[in-house]
Structure 1
Amino acid sequence: MDQKNSNTIARRKFLKASAALTLLSVAKSMFPGGALAAGAGPETTKAVLGFIALTDSAPLIIAKEKGFFAKHGMPDVEVVKQASWGTTRDNLVLGSEGNGIDGAHILTPMPYLISTGKITQNNLPLPMVILARLNLDAQAISVGSAYAQIKAGTDAGALKEAFAKKKTEGNAAKAAMTFPGGTHDLWLRYWLAAGGIDPDKDVETIVVPPPQMVANMKVGTMDCFCVGEPWNAQLVNQGIGYTAVNTAEIWAKHPEKSFAMRADWVEKNPIATKALLMAIMEAQQWADEMTNKDELAAIVGKRAWFNVPAMDIAGRLKGDYDYGSGRKETASPHLMKFWRDHASYPFQSHEKWFLAENMRWGKFAPDTDISALVGQVNREDVWRAAASELGVAAADIPATKSRGIEIFFDGKVFDPENPQTYLASLDIKRFA
C-alpha cells in the first residue's frame, strides 16, 4: 500500500473515531443527571488499567486496595503493572480484548500523541480521552554524583561548561527521560533550555523506564535524569546522586499524570466510566490526607506494586525533602498533590501548554490547531458529571476549563488563549 493510501485510511479511522466521540457527547447530554442517578448500573464490572511504578499512580492502586472500585460497582477492575511507557502505549492499542489494557495512569501528552498516530505503529490514530488528572507537582531532575561539587539547582546553566567539556572530548553528556514528548521529557528540556543548554545539540537525550533510572545512574549510563518519585529519593538514599530541582520549582502546581482511556471503551461503557472516575476521585481524596501518607507508602511499596522500601516513598510524599546536596526541606509546598488545588480536574488550559511544548520540540507541526485537539481528547465534562454524582463540594469543582495565565520560574508566561506568543518568546526551539 502506498503512503498516500495509508494516510487516507488512517484519516478515515481517525474521523470515524471522532464521530464516535461526538455520539458519546450526545449520549451524555441525554442523561444530564447521570445514568447511575437514574438507577442503571455499570455496563460492565471490569476494566483493565495500566500503571507504571511511580508514586503518582497511587490513586489507581488505592482505589483497588481500599475497595473504591468495588464500592462504585466495578469489583473486577484489574490494575496491571507496565514495564515502560512504550509498553503502556502498545497495550492500549491492543485493548483488553487483545490482552492489553483499556486505560491507564499515563503521561499527560501521551493520549494526544496516540490519538493523532504520532507514536503508534504505522502512525494509525487510536482515539483516547483524558478523564482526570491524577496529581500535581513533585517530579524531579536528578544529577549524578560526578557533578556533586557543581550543586546544580533551578539554573541548569551551572552544568553548561561541564557538559560542553564532555562533548568536546567526544562523549556527550546523557540526559535521560521516560518517553519522548512526555512530561518528564518536557520538564527536562525546559530546564536545560532555560539554562542555555540545547537538549538536542548540547547533550544526548535517552529514554529509560522509570524503575530503571537508579540502576542506570549507578553504572554511569547517564549524567542526569527526569522522573517521578520514588526514584529520585532512592537515588539520594543510595548516595548515587542528588536532586537538582523539584519540577514544581519550574512551574508551581503544574499538572502531571492523567487517567486516560480508549475512546471506544468510554463510548461503549459511559456509566462504568463514571463509576471508575468516582472511585479514583475518592482514592485521590484519601491519598491527599497527611494522616494517610505512611499507609499509602506502605501499600504502594509492596512487592505487587513498586517493590520499593516505604522509606524511599514516605518522606517526599509528606513534603520532607533531602536533596542530597546539603539542601533539606520539611513541609515543602511542592509535595505531590492528589486532590487539593483542583489536582484531579483536567484543566484544558494545561493540556494546551503540553501541546505547545511538543510543537516547540517538533512533535507537532507549528500550525497545529491546539484548541480543536484539546477539545477532542480532554473530556472534563465527564469528570464534572462524576464529581457531581459523587457529591464533590462546589469549591472543589473549577468554574471554568482554564486555570488562566501560567508563569514559569524563568519568567516566561503562557497564556492558553495565545500559545503562539509564548512560543515566540522562547530562545531555543526547533522552528523559527
Structure 2
Amino acid sequence: MSAAMTNATLRTLRIGFMPLVDCAPLVAASRLGLDRRHGLQFELQRQGSWAALRDKLLSGELDAAHALAGMVYGIETGIGGPQGPMAVLMVLNQNGQAIVLAPEAARRLREGANLREALGVPQRRPVLAQTFPTGTHALWLYYWLAAQGVDPLHEIRAVTLPPPEMPDALARGEIEGYCAGEPWSAQAEAIGAGARVIRSGELWPGHPEKVLACRRQFAALEPELATALTAAVLDACRWLDEDPQHRRQAAQWLAQDAVIGLPVERLSACLLPSSDAARGTGLRFHGDGEVNFPWLSDGRWFLHQFRRWGWLPADAADDDALLAEMHRIDSYRLAALQVGVPLPRGETRRSVLFDGMRWE
C-alpha cells in the first residue's frame, strides 16, 4: 500500500468473530496494519453466538467471518437452519480446542474407567454441550464419543451454548461436559468447574478448525477484494507462528474486553505451545502455509460426518463439485503468491485420527 494512501481510499470490510483465541489472526492483521497494507480496513465485530454470526453473514451485515469449519458446510447444505451459498477463503488455524468433563467424570476416566462408565451410560443420559449443531465442536464431541462406544444421538443429550457460557454452566451442574475452543477449557479448569480430558489436536492432529468464510457471491463478484482479504490474514497467520513473542503480544490484544476479556496469562497459556504437547497437536496458525490451504479432503471429511449422523442423504456423487465451488483455491493461490507463502502440489492431504481412522 502506498504511504500516501489514506483511510478514505481503503475498502472497509466488516468481519465477525467469536471471543476465542483462534480469532488472533484477524486481531493481529488489524493491529499490525496488515489490512491497510493490502488496501483494506478491517472493522472487527465481536458476536454473541455462532448463530448470530451466521445470520449476519447471510444477511450481508458482515462481509466475512472467523467461522467454524463445520458450520460453513452446514450453512451450505441447509442442515438445521438457513441455507446459503458459502465460500471458504482459507483456514485460520489447526487444533486448539478441547473436550471438558465435570470433575467426577474426569476423575473416573483418569482412574481407568471407560467412557461409558465415567458418564454413567446407559443408566442415565448425560447433558453435553457444543457450540453449533454442525460445527467442529459438535463433530469432535460426537466422533470422540462414538469411537468409545457411546451413541451421541441416543445416549447423551446434546445442547448448544455460546462458548463463554460453558464454564459457568458446568460449574452450576447444568451440563456435565462440553467441547469448545480455548480459552474456555482453560477457564473451566481455572474456576474448578471441570478438567480437559482430550485436546482436539490429539483427536485429529492437524485438524482444520476455524476458517475465513464469506458468502459465495462476495467471493465471486469481488475476486480481487477476496484475494486482498486472504493475503492480509495469511500475513497475520505467518506472523503469529514466526516467534513465541508474537503470540505473547497477541495475548495482550485478546485480553481486552472488546475481544475476549480474560487475563493475559490465561490467554498466553492457550496460545503458546505446551511443553507436553505431542508434535502436530498444538495450536498452529501457519506452518509455512500447510495450515492455511483450504484442503478439499478436509471438506469431504465434514460432509462424510454429516452423512454418518443422518443429516445428509447418503449419495456423495456431487461432493467434489460442491467443494470446488466452496473452496476458493484460485483466490488463495493468488494471495499466497502475493505474500510469498509456499503452495502445495495437490489439493488434498492425508490425515490419521486418534482411533486409527485414515482419511485422504
Whether the TM-score (by the shorter chain) exceeds 0.5 is yes
- In the aligned structure 2, how far is the partner of 1:175 from the partner of 1:74? 41
Counterpart Cα distance in 1 of 2:328 and 2:120 = 44
| 2:201 corresponds to | 248
Report the CA distance between 1:391 and its aligned residue.
2.3
Counterpart residue type for residue 93 of structure 1: L
Pair 1:161-2:111 in alignment: no
- Residue 412, structure 1, aligned to residue 357, structure 2: yes
1:196-275 to structure 2, matched below 5 A, reads 196-275=149-228
Give 1 or 2 for the bigger CA radius of gyration: 1
Distance 1:251 1:90, change over 3 A: same
Counterpart in 1 of 2:18? 52
Query: How big is each residue's C-alpha offset from its partner over 1:10-49, in whole Å with a ceiling of 9 and x where there is no partner?
Result: xxxxxxxxxxxxxxxxxxxxxxxxxxxxxxxxx9701111
1:332 CA displacement: 6.4
Q: 1:81-120 CA distances to partner (integer Å, 9 max, x unpaired)?
A: 111111111111210xxxx211101011222222233344
In structure 2, give the amino acid aligned to 1:244.
V
Q: CA deviation at 1:318?
A: 1.4
Please say if 1:186 is aligned against 2:143. Answer: no
1:65 to 8, 28, 31: 31
Task: State how far apart, in whole Å, the 2-side matches of 1:133 and 1:310 are.
Answer: 25
2:324 to 363, 367, 375: 375
User: Using the alignment, how far apart are the partners of 1:137 and 1:172 within structure 2?
Assistant: 28
Deviation at 1:358, TM superposition (A): 1.1
Asked if the contact 2:106/2:118 (under 8 Å) is kept, the reply is no
Is 1:87 the equivalent of 2:44? no
CA-based RMSD: 2.1
1:9-24 equivalences in 2 (<5 Å): none
CA contact (8 A) 1:319 1:332 kept: no
- Retained in 2: the 8 A contact 1:175–1:203? yes
Given candidates 328, 339, 356, the residue that maps to 1:390 is 339
What is the match of residue 128 of structure 1? 86
Q: Give unmatched runs, 5+ long, in structure 2.
A: 1-8
Residues 257 and 180 of structure 1, relative CA distance in 2, 3 Å threshold: same
Match of 1:35 in 2: none
Give the distance between the partners of 2:239 and 2:156, measured in 1 at CA.
Answer: 41
Identity of aligned residues (%): 34
CA distance in 1, matches of 2:101, 2:218: 41
Mapped partners of 2:53, 2:274: distance in 1: 31
In structure 1, what is the Cα distance between the partners aligned to 2:220 and 2:321?
20
If the length of structure 2 is used for normalisation, what is the TM-score?
Answer: 0.92
Cα deviation, 1:158-201, whole Å, max 9, x if unaligned, reads 23024345x53xx5211111111111001000100011000111
Aligned-partner SS, 1:129: strand
Within the candidate set 74, 94, 99, 1:113 is matched to: 74
Amino acid in the other structure paired with 1:313:
L
Residue identity matched to 1:413: R
| 1:269 Cα offset (Å) | 2.0
Mapping of 1:289-304 within 5 angstroms? 289-304=243-258
SS of equivalent to 1:365? coil
Task: Please tell me whether the aligned partners of residues 181 and 363 of structure 1 are also in contact (alpha carbons under 8 angstroms).
Answer: no
**Paired residue type of 2:244:** M
Offset, 1:308: 1.1
CA distance in structure 1 between the aligned counterparts of 2:76 and 2:49, rounded to whole angstroms: 19
Alpha-carbon distance between aligned partners in 2 of 1:192 and 1:246, rounded to the nearest angstrom: 14
